[in-house]
Structure 1
Amino acid sequence: MNKTIPGAAMAVVIAGALLASASAHAQSKPIQGWQPGQHEEPDPAKRVPQAPQQAPQQAPASQQAQPAPRPPSVVVREQPYAAAQPEPAQREEDRGGFFVGVQGGKGWVYEDVDQSALAVNAGYRWQAGPVSLIGIEVASGRLDSTREGPWRYGKVEYDSIGANARFNFGRNSPVYGLVRAGYWTADDSESGMDVDGGYFGVGLGVDVNRHFNLSLVYTNYVYFEDYYWEGNDFHYDINRADTLMLGAEVRF
Structure 2
Amino acid sequence: MSKTLSKAALAAVIASAVLASTAVHAQSKPLQNAPPQPRELDPAKRVPPPAAHQHAPQASGQQSVQAQPAAQAQPYATPQPYAPAAPAGASYADGRGGFFIGVQGGKGWVYDDVGQSALAVNAGYRWQAGAVTLVGIEVAGGKLDSTTDDGWPYAKVDYASIGANARFNFGHTSPVYALVRAGYFTADEADYGDMDGGYLGLGLGVDFNRHFNMSLVYTNYVYFDSYGWYDGDFYYDANRADTLMLGAEVRF
The verdict on a shared fold, with TM-score over 0.5 as the criterion, is yes
1:197 paired residue number:
197
1:115 paired residue number:
116
1:166 paired residue number:
167
Counterpart CA distance in 2 for 1:138 and 1:122 is 6
1:228 paired residue number:
228
Which amino acid in the other structure matches residue 194 of structure 1?
Answer: D
Shift of 1:227: 1.3
For 1:208-227, list aligned pairs within 5 A: 208-227=208-227
1:185 paired residue number:
186
Which amino acid in the other structure matches residue 215 of structure 2?
Answer: S
For 1:54-133, list aligned pairs within 5 A: 93-133=94-134
Identical aligned residues as a percent: 72
1:176 paired residue number:
177
Counterpart CA distance in 2 for 1:178 and 1:93 is 18
Counterpart CA distance in 2 for 1:150 and 1:235 is 34
Q: TM-score, normalised by structure 2?
A: 0.63
Shift of 1:210: 0.4
Counterpart CA distance in 2 for 1:105 and 1:150 is 23
Q: Deviations along 1:1-24, whole A, 9 cap, x unmatched? A: xxxxxxxxxxxxxxxxxxxxxxxx
- Match of 1:114, SS state, is strand
Shift of 1:151: 1.3
The gaps in structure 2 that reach 5 residues or longer are 1-80
Q: CA RMSD in A?
A: 2.1
Counterpart CA distance in 2 for 1:94 and 1:217 is 24
Q: How many residues align?
A: 167
The gaps in structure 1 that reach 5 residues or longer are 1-83
Q: Which moved more, 1:142-151 or 1:95-104?
A: 142-151
Counterpart CA distance in 1 for 2:156 and 2:185 is 16
Counterpart CA distance in 2 for 1:212 and 1:185 is 29
Q: Deviations along 1:51-99, whole A, 9 cap, x unmatched? A: xxxxxxxxxxxxxxxxxxxxxxxxxxxxxxxxx9x99x98852110000
Counterpart CA distance in 2 for 1:164 and 1:122 is 11
Shift of 1:192: 4.0
Shift of 1:231: 2.5
Which amino acid in the other structure matches residue 117 of structure 1?
Answer: A
Shift of 1:230: 2.2
Q: Deviations along 1:215-236, whole A, 9 cap, x unmatched? A: 0000000001121332322211
Counterpart CA distance in 2 for 1:193 and 1:233 is 25
Counterpart CA distance in 1 for 2:159 and 2:179 is 21
Q: TM-score, normalised by structure 1?
A: 0.63
Q: Deviations along 1:118-160, whole A, 9 cap, x unmatched? A: 0000000000011110000000001111001131110001100
For 1:148-167, list aligned pairs within 5 A: 148-167=149-168
